[in-house]
Amino acid sequence: MNKINALFANNKDRKLLSLYFCAGCPTFEGTGAVIKSMERHGIDMIEVGIPFSDPLADGPVIQSADTKALKNGMTVKALFGQLKAIKDEVQLPLVLMGYLNPIMHYGIEAFFQSCVESGVSGTIIPDLPFDDYLKVVKPIADKYDIRVIMMITPETSEERIRFIDEHTDGFIYMVSSASITGAQSSFGDAKLAYFNHINSMNLRNPRMIGFGISNKQTLTSAQDNAAGAIIGSKFVTLLNEVGDPDKALDLLFEALKN
C-alpha cells in the first residue's frame, strides 16, 4: 500500500501533523538531516519543496527560501539524489511539492519514476491544470503508484470539489484561504464556516488543512476540522533562523502550545 494511504488508514482516531520545508534551504546538503529530524520528532508526513523561481502560491517566507535554495544550487535531479541516499532510513510518507515547470523540464515520466526510486509517495503540483492531470499526469502517476494531491480553497465550487474527490486518492489539501502561504494568528468565522461546509460534504478522501497555521489556535482549528494540519512558513522561518532542524522543531512545538 502507498505510504500516504497507509498513514490515513492506520490513524483514523489520531490527528496528523505534516510539515513543509524547501529542499536546499538553509543549506544545499541539509535535506536528509531535516527529514530525519522530523521523523525523530514524530512528524507524520513531510512535504519537501522543490525550489522554483516563481512560486505563485507562496508568500514571502517560502519565496525567500526558494531563492536561497536555488542560489545554493538545488535542482530536481540533486534533490532526488539526496532523497535516494536516505531512502532506507525513512519510514514516513514524503510528498514533493513543486511547480509544473521544473517537473516538465525533468520529464513527467522520469519524475514519477525517480519518485519511486527515491522513496517519494506523492506530489503536489499547485499550478497543474486538472484537465492535464486527468489526461496526462494521472495515468503516469498511477503506473508508478504515486499520489497526486489536489488543493481546494474557499473559492472552489462544490461541484469541482466533488470532481476532485472522485478522481484523486491519498488526501485533499484544504487551503485555509484563497491567499498565499504565510503564518496567521487565528482563523476567522468565514474560514471556520468553510471548514464546516467541507465537513458536511462527507468526501471520500481525508483532508489536511494548510496555509496560515502557526500557533495553538490555528492548529486546533485545523485538526478539529480535518484529518490533520500542514505547517510550512512557520517552520521554514524557524529553520532559517536557527539553522539546526532539531532546534527549529523544538521551537515550533513550543510555539504551537501558545
- How far is residue 14's CA from residue 21's CA, in Å, rounded to a whole number? 23
**pLDDT score of 54:** 76
Residue whose C-alpha is closest to residue 44's, from 69, 72, 8, 70: 8
Instruction: Please report whether residue 125 resides in a domain.
Output: yes
- How far is residue 85's CA from residue 118's CA, in Å, rounded to a whole number? 8
User: Nine-digit cell at 135?
Assistant: 489526461
Matching residue, cell 520528532? 41
Instruction: Please report whether residue 2 resides in a domain.
Output: no
Instruction: Please report whether residue 222 resides in a domain.
Output: yes
Instruction: Please report whether residue 155 resides in a domain.
Output: no
Residue 213 sits at the vertex; the CA angle it makes with 103 and 149, to the nearest 5 degrees, is: 30
pLDDT, one tens digit per residue, over 36-95 is 999 999 999 999 999 988 766 677 888 899 999 999 999 999 999 999 999 999 999 999
pTM over 0.85: yes
Instruction: Please report whether residue 190 resides in a domain.
Output: no
Sheet of 45-49, strand order: 147-149, 122-124, 94-97, 45-49, 16-22, 228-231, 207-210, 172-175, 151-152
User: Nine-digit cell at 213?
Assistant: 497555521
Point out the residues that are catalytic: 47, 58
pLDDT, one tens digit per residue, over 139-168 is 999 999 999 999 999 999 999 999 999 999
What's the CATH number where 22 sits? 3.20.20.70
Q: Which domain holds residue 20?
A: 16-149+208-252
Whole-number percent of the chain with pLDDT over 90:
84
* Number of compact structural domains in the chain: 1
Instruction: Please report whether residue 127 resides in a domain.
Output: yes
